[in-house]
Chain A
Amino acid sequence: MDKQTTAQEVVARLQDGMTIGIGGWGPRRKPMALVRELLRSPVKDLTVVAYGGADVGMLCAAGKVKKLVFAFVSLDFIPLEPYFRAARQQGAIDVMEIDEGMLLLGLKAAAMRIPFIPTAVGLGTDVLRHNPDLAVIDSPYDSKQWVAMPALKLDAALLHVDRADVRGVCQVKGPDLYMDDLFARAARHTYVSCDELVDSAYFAQGDEARYVHWERAATTAVVHAPGGAHPTSCAPLYGFDQAHFKHYAAGAREPDGWRQYHERYIACGEQEYLRRVGGIDAIRKLALPVF
């Protein structure tokens, strides 16, 4: 089966009002080429589920987000994501703010096709007060209260990986998968961009198959997008682009900063984007961060 397609074709399959999960974590291995294509489209009123970074900030800035399901939105070395912050402070988006682990459990429940997973996480906090739909239940086995974390079912998941073949075998060699396998399984359709498109024989070499973390049936379509995580990192291939993030965040302090960013880096199309950020060779030279 040949699942290769284009970012435009992936976005053409997304519809207003859908629930979209976005893989990666903060400034790390976000499917930014797919997000940029989404920003170029008329699709709107999305519910976005993410361990958020600039993906969430940009979608907020562009008015695409109706509701955000999140535990944090951060660029890490710039702790506060400026466009997410502005959207919240303007009261522009609905939110379901939950613990990082609750988000994991919600994806896991969706992946397992069960309605909820019981957890102690969230008890005693305002996460319950601000999410009145989160049920607190009795256990058949003890006398404690438990939060019934509901399945976070996704209409679509957008992910970026190091490499993939056209059948949807996806490899992540970075030291952290984040929750990408859960996003892939929680979604009806999982769209994966990859830095390198390889032959299936690639995975038969050495221990390459050890870095494939979900089976291809969980991948709907594959998009070849070199540098497709930029400006976020795709370890071990490249680090995140601190200078680009600083420029992006500084723009949020200007009245038309987003319009300027959009014009320079989104509206121009992906080929021109890559050229404007220095090309794939420059991206591959971005140093991996040290903490």
Chain B
Amino acid sequence: MTTMTATLIDTIACAAARAWQGDGEVLATGIGVLPRLAASLAMKSVNPDLMMTDSEAWLLSEPAPLGPRGDYVLQRETWMGFARIFDNVWSGRRHAMVAPTQIDRHGQANISMIGKDYGKPAVQMLGVRGFPGNSISHANSFFVPNHNRKVFVEGEVDMVASIGYNPARLPRGYQLDDIALRYVITNLCVMDFGGPGRQMRIISLHPGVTAQQVRDATGFPLHIPDHIPETAAPSCDELALIAQLDPHNLRATVLS
């Protein structure tokens, strides 16, 4: 059942939540408002076995609402300081959704710097953070709030912070199957790496978006199936959960 009040961001949140469906008992990490909301929604709907942190130092038995919590009491179950996060990362029992500044055709991603001169970046960003370790250790998905050719770059990303499906960079002894890039959720569509030779592929288009629009906004060729469904609208239950998990409507600014 659907309702007329579903906005695009609610539809995206539900599509993103489904990234964790079937993952079993893994740590779901969403970096940023929408990925965190999606991970929380997944734990409350498609995968109740997920583990989640309070974005500080504790695992919670239920996701904490975003923003100021009022009387809400965190439902802590395990201490989980940063050092222990790496124990979890290296175990492989995690699926993270992150929002890179650049992504290329191989699914290699960048949050470090922009520019051709590494010694003197045109734009210095965060640094590689945990991208190298995440990408070689566990499943990863991406969220892109503004699908365009600056994000989905034509060549390789300026700084390959996370390993992707690039045979030229595959370490000796590794198979492409050892890397787990799952979904790319954008403001236009949902994609995966299910095209020929792990080509990025459109699997659903958000309402009113055409495949041509996505193609025009992407710096490399995508696999475009003959029939692409529309991204499913949220159910009433999902909308109620979203309202509960994001009571201050922080998601309203994600696409602006």
Q: What is A's interface to B at a CB cutoff of 8 Å?
A: 25, 70-74, 79-80, 84-85, 88-91, 97-102, 104, 120-127, 129-130, 136, 142-145, 174-179, 290-291
Contact = CB atoms under 8 A, between A and B. Distances in A.
B136 A72 contact: no
13 contacts: A71-B128, A71-B130, A80-B124, A90-B120, A99-B130, A99-B131, A101-B133, A102-B132, A120-B171, A121-B137, A123-B163, A127-B161, A145-B172
Contacts of B120: 88-91
A202 to B, nearest CB: 23
Nearest to B132: A99
A147 B202 CA distance: 35
Which 5 A-B pairs have CB atoms at the shortest separation, nearest pair first? Answer: A144-B173, A124-B163, A91-B120, A175-B57, A291-B55
Interface string B106-129: 000000110001111111111111
B132 A127 contact: yes
B186 interface: no
Given A90-B120, A290-B68, 12 more contacts: A70-B127, A88-B121, A98-B128, A100-B133, A122-B133, A124-B166, A126-B161, A129-B160, A144-B174, A145-B174, A176-B81, A178-B82
Contact of B81 (A121, A136, A178): A178
B123 A290 contact: no
Interface in B73-112: 79, 81-83, 86, 89-90, 112
A125 B164 CA distance: 9
Nearest to A291: B55
Nearest to B89: A101
A100 B129 contact: yes
Interface string B150-189: 0000000001111110100111111000000000000000
Contacts of A144: 171-174
Contacts of A101: 86, 89-90, 130, 133
Contacts of A98: 128, 132
Contacts of B126: 72-74, 79-80
Contacts of A74: 126-127
B56 A175 contact: yes
B115 to A, nearest CB: 9
Contacts of B11: none
The B contact surface, by secondary structure, is: loop
Contact of B136 (A90, A121, A175): A121
Given A89-B121, A121-B137, A124-B160, A176 B129 contact: no
B58 A89 contact: no
Contacts of A177: 81, 83
B52 to A, nearest CB: 12
Contacts of A121: 90, 132-133, 136-137
Q: Which of B113, B132, B135 has the most CB of A within 10 A?
A: B132
B83 A175 contact: no
A97 B127 contact: yes
Contacts of A145: 171-174
A125 B18 CA distance: 28
A142 B163 CA distance: 21
A124 B169 contact: yes
Given A72-B129, A73-B127, A101-B89, A91 B119 contact: yes
Contacts of A70: 127
A224 B43 CA distance: 45
Nearest to A108: B83
A11 to B, nearest CB: 27
A291 B56 contact: yes
Given A143-B173, A176-B56, A290-B68, A89 B82 contact: no
Contacts of A80: 124-126
Contacts of B81: 175-178
B83 A120 contact: no
A130 B118 contact: yes
A125 B132 CA distance: 7
Contacts of A84: 124
B89 A290 contact: no
